[in-house]
Amino acid sequence: MTSDHRVLVITSVPDHIGPILTARFPDLPIRIEDDADKVASVLDEFRPSVVFAIGGEPYPKNRFPDLLAYPSVRWLSNGGAGVEHIGTWDPAEKTVTNAAGVNAPFLAQFTIAAHMSANIGMPRYARQQQARQWERHEWPPLTDRKFCVVGLGSIGRLVAQHAKYFGMRTVGTRSTARPTDHVDEVFASKDLLKALDGAEFVSVHCASTPETAGIIDDAAFDAMADGVIFLNAARGAVVDEDALRRALDSGKIGTAILDVFRTEPLPRDNPLWDYENVIVTPHMADSISGWEVNLTRAFGDNLARWIVGDPLASLVDPTRGY
């Protein structure tokens, strides 16, 4: 491990993030950049060995391959869970980590709150309020109802734990079926339809990979219970949006909570905006106050490992995409 550690941090909130790292690593050359137009010149001038970047603002995700390809960069720390925007790399030459699990507790809180709100009928009451309409509706209790988690990673396992607290019957999928805390029955990913069979709640939290592209298709929706509450907080590519609209048009879906889409921001002419039983949120499920600070502290922990040559946490396997 070379002793020439030089760290470039790309962030829209330098005043929040910079002091955390400079205080922890006072002797380490650290450059904080919040102007995407200056990144190329900073790479040439500073020649970092490590880059920590949070995609979106100020640095668009489609430019992350440029960071990884830069000759001096040995490790790219992605400030988010998904790495589908990074491209391909040789793990013998480059190291990539992500922030999987850092904000998982908060995304799980969003998820269970959204499911519960839909079950109570809050979207309908919001519409009734706009119409000044006083009408009461019964809502079904949660006990013993089937809750399916598609993707029992760090987020999915917490979602299952919350659902289990309410006495729900939890099932889920992961790459291989194996016992998982708070999950009554675990299915291998290839047995997705079995897991979805009769599920009244479906929560999607799997990684976006070539294998998961479009796995929530017509057959998947057909397997769910009529009136299912469906939530996608993973990636838009996991869901076939044409199949989603067909399931909405047929009445198969009771409520859909959608935080991610194939195209983001969701185009204004996308018909998903117009469904009364669709809740659109702008990819914000884990956007708690101070989320960047959480990511930075996790990166700092990994940076300490990198400096002494210890194995890194959240190492991404380029053959799997997570």
Residue 289 corresponds to which amino acid?
A: S
Residue 294 CA: distances (Å) to CA of 54, 135, 272, 297, 305:
12, 43, 32, 5, 17
Q: State the catalytic residue, choosing from 45, 57, 264, 276.
A: 264
Q: State the catalytic residue, choosing from 74, 182, 235, 241.
A: 235
φ and ψ at residue 229, rounded to 5 degrees? -95, 115
Q: State the catalytic residue, choosing from 124, 283, 297, 305.
A: 283
Q: Roughly what angle, to the nearest 10 degrees, separates helices 14-24 and 291-308? A: 30
Contact 32, 14 (CB under 8 A): yes
Catalytic residue list contains 16: no
Distance of alpha carbon 20 from alpha carbon 37, whole angstroms: 24
Q: Is 171 exposed, middle or buried (0-12, 13-18, 19+ CB in 10 A)?
A: buried
| CA-based end-to-end distance of the chain | 24
What is the Cα 134 distance to its own chain's centre? 37
Q: Which two tokens stand for residue 63?
A: 């430019």
Distance of alpha carbon 129 from alpha carbon 140, whole angstroms: 21
Catalytic residue list contains 235: yes
Catalytic residue list contains 24: no
**What are the DSSP calls for 65-82, one per residue?**
HHHHHSTT--EEEESSS-
The catalytic site residues sit at 235, 264, 283
